[in-house]
Amino acid sequence: MFESLLDSLINNLKNINAQELKIYEEFQEYSSTENNYVIKNWLFKSSKFRKWRITRLDGGDKIQVFNTVAYPIFSCEQPLLGADILWFGNSNKTLAVFDYQPLIQDKKYLEEYCSSLNSIKKQYVEFDNTKMKNIYDSNKYFSPWVIISRRQNLNDDKDLYGVFNSFLREYLIINKDSCKNKFLNSKQIKKKHIQYDKYSIEKDPAEKLFKKFFGDTWTKKFIKNFLFTLS
């Protein structure tokens, strides 16, 4: 499940000449000794992105996870890309969250870099779950147009593939041109990236999930050395 999304993302990264980086072997692929869950990870870097990480968790018919986060270089003030998709086998429900995660909540910044999400939501109305917005802190690293869906029988269907690729395409357009910062300088951008990782390490629910499947020791190393390295 989600293999088509993974393939599409990696192909897009190759199209922008992103280079795959070597990561610790235990993070490339790691298996749970108790329940046969397998986690795989990839890391890319390009002239516009200092870090673009991808995670795939395969829990068979119990759980499937696809996650990716893109960090622009410190000289570019563009938002981070964040995508989380989780499928739960017991309920056959899929939770999908896509956002251009802003570095600041300035109205003009949000309009400049994040508002294209609204047109995607209008095209894919089933991904506009306003009832779930209260689970995210809109005063921090989420835009007003965060895309959220929680549905049964979604799996890796054409709607999910379509919305993800629209989401990815618009983000790459935002980052296509040379950086012409209007709101932040490089020092401020780096500080915001550090704050994002510190915020995420406290708020991200992935820690509990990974501890349950892969144990406390490995999870702590994974979070510190792969997911949120500036924390």
pLDDT in tens, the chain (231 residues): 899 999 999 999 999 999 999 999 999 999 997 788 999 999 999 999 999 999 999 999 999 999 999 999 999 999 999 999 999 988 888 999 999 999 999 999 999 999 999 999 999 988 877 665 566 666 788 999 999 988 876 545 678 999 999 999 999 999 988 789 999 999 999 999 999 999 998 888 788 889 999 999 999 999 999 999 998
Label residue 153 left, alpha or beta by phi (over 0 means left) and psi (-120 to 50 means alpha): left
Give 178-192 as a DSSP string. Answer: PP--SS--HHHHHHH
Looking at residue 133, its pLDDT comes to: 59
The enclosing H or E element of 222 equals helix 216-222
Model-level pTM? 0.94
Token digits of residue 150: 């929680």
- Give the residue from 90, 9, 98, 210 showing the smallest Cα distance to 224: 210
Report the alpha-carbon distance of residue 57 to residue 32 in Å, rounded: 11
- Give the residue from 178, 228, 226 showing the smallest Cα distance to 21: 226
State pLDDT tens for residues 95-106: 999 999 999 999
Report the alpha-carbon distance of residue 33 to residue 17 in Å, rounded: 37
Burial of 111 (0-12, 13-18, 19+ CB in 10 A): exposed
Report the alpha-carbon distance of residue 16 to residue 207 in Å, rounded: 31
Looking at residue 128, its pLDDT comes to: 77
